[in-house]
Amino acid sequence: MFTLAIRRDDWSLHRKGAIDQARHMEKVKEAIKRNLADIVSEQSIITSDGKRIVRVPIRVLEEYRFRFDPEAGRQVGQGSGGTKVGDVIGRTGGSSGPGAGPQAGDEPGIDYYEAELTIDELGELIFEDLELPNLEEKRLRELESETVRFTDIRKHGPLANLDKRRTLRENLRRNAWRGQPRIGDFANEDLRFKTWERDIKRESNAVVIAMMDVSGSMGTFEKYVSRAFYYWMVRFLRTKYDHVDIRFIAHHAEAKEVSEEEFFTRGESGGTRASTAYELALQLIREHYPPDSWNIYPFHFSDGDNWPSDNDRCRELAEELLRCVNLFGYGEIRQGRYTYHSTLMHTLQRIGSPKLVTVTISDKADVYQALRRFFGPEVGQEVARA
């Protein structure tokens, strides 16, 4: 016996699949967050124009169980005839799979998802709890920045605030419940509106002075790391704050102020006198950023390979800087090779100011740690306590 029924039942599973998929994606995002340190220093992201979607390779969320070692032993395969012992039938690794998007790995034991994110989404994950530490409300030129924050979704509201995506979804859902999974026949009950709150942030003026060592001793790795750090720093400042000035200083034996574009692209060479950068920073502060009106944050990235005769001068100028800034961040990039003690780091550390935050970077993944070290939630407290 059989019956043929054209039934379009209300498969409540319809929503179940989408909901469980959303939960899966949430877990994928959590996994991305756990891997941020690696992702932050991805070459493809730093060199992108910041607008496009990036693919972040992460391992699929494993469903652990007792299983045999997939690397061990032999597997049965099937050819299309005439396969001989010794034939190479495939390769592991690489992304040779077809198509894009999530794909089941083709080889035993290596399953990768490529999660697609916009740089902004990625930034959101990275910047979630970062802030300019120790930000003070300064006396003069205090600004009120008003932002509109969409906080809720309602069923009524002005048509201009119609949330089209949610409205479509409601319509689709309602139709699906009636057994017609399609979009159309909009009714008032489908409409969803965004509502908002005026978010008045009392925000003070802040200036970030980004200093970078571009001398000959800075190798590819060192330059890459500094730029990766500053890339995210700039994005972070522009995402989170409306009014932050950023000034770029490149230095070798001399320092000069450069444009953002130059800062991120130009290569230089020559010896290193870091004091020139600090001098220029102080000059900028004197001319444009009086400390009683401005929160000031100088950062400096270098391999620490400074002219020894210049170190005392650096120390003097750094002390002067520390008297007028909220925080001075120094990052020293040492890829395993500098273990001697005459680096700029040691000169600066002798100052012993709580406003001086230093970080050593020896691996790409440390870029993320540096961001957290300078802008993480603990930093402000530390500085304030001291």
Binding-site ranges for other proteins (CB under 8 A): 1-9, 11-14, 16-17, 19-27, 60-93, 98-104, 106-108, 181
Nearest Cα to Cα of residue 373 among 20, 49, 37: 37
Q: How far is the CB of 112 from other proteins (least distance, A)?
A: 13
Q: Give the SS3 label for residue 246.
A: strand
Query: Measured from the CB atom, is 14 or 194 closer to other proteins?
Result: 14
Query: Measured from the CB atom, is 92 or 239 closer to other proteins?
Result: 92
Q: Give the SS3 label for residue 39.
A: helix
Helix 119-127 vs helix 13-34: angle between axes, to the nearest 10 degrees? 60
Output the CA torsion sign for 346, 352, 356, 361. Answer: positive
Q: How far is the CB of 316 from other proteins (least distance, A)?
A: 51
How does DSSP classify residue 107?
B
Query: Measured from the CB atom, is 107 or 262 closer to other proteins?
Result: 107
Rg of the chain over all Cα atoms, to the nearest angstrom: 28
Q: How far is the CB of 181 from other proteins (least distance, A)?
A: 7
Query: Measured from the CB atom, is 14 or 235 closer to other proteins?
Result: 14
Q: How far is the CB of 180 from other proteins (least distance, A)?
A: 11
Query: Measured from the CB atom, is 98 or 158 closer to other proteins?
Result: 98
Triad 21, 7, 24: Cα angle to 5°: 5
Q: How far is the CB of 96 from other proteins (least distance, A)?
A: 11
Query: Measured from the CB atom, is 111 or 245 closer to other proteins?
Result: 111
Query: In angstroms, rounded to a whole number, what is the distance separating the alpha carbons of residues 347 and 277?
Result: 16
Q: How far is the CB of 32 from other proteins (least distance, A)?
A: 15
Kindly list the distances between the CA atom of residue 43 and the CA atoms of 56, 171, 202, 224, in Å, as whole numbers in the listed order. Answer: 11, 42, 36, 9
Q: How far is the CB of 126 from other proteins (least distance, A)?
A: 24
For 285-344, the DSSP string reads: HHHH--TTT-EEEEEEEE-S---GGGHHHHHHHHHHHHHH-S-EEEEEE--S---SS-SH
Query: Measured from the CB atom, is 94 or 308 closer to other proteins?
Result: 94
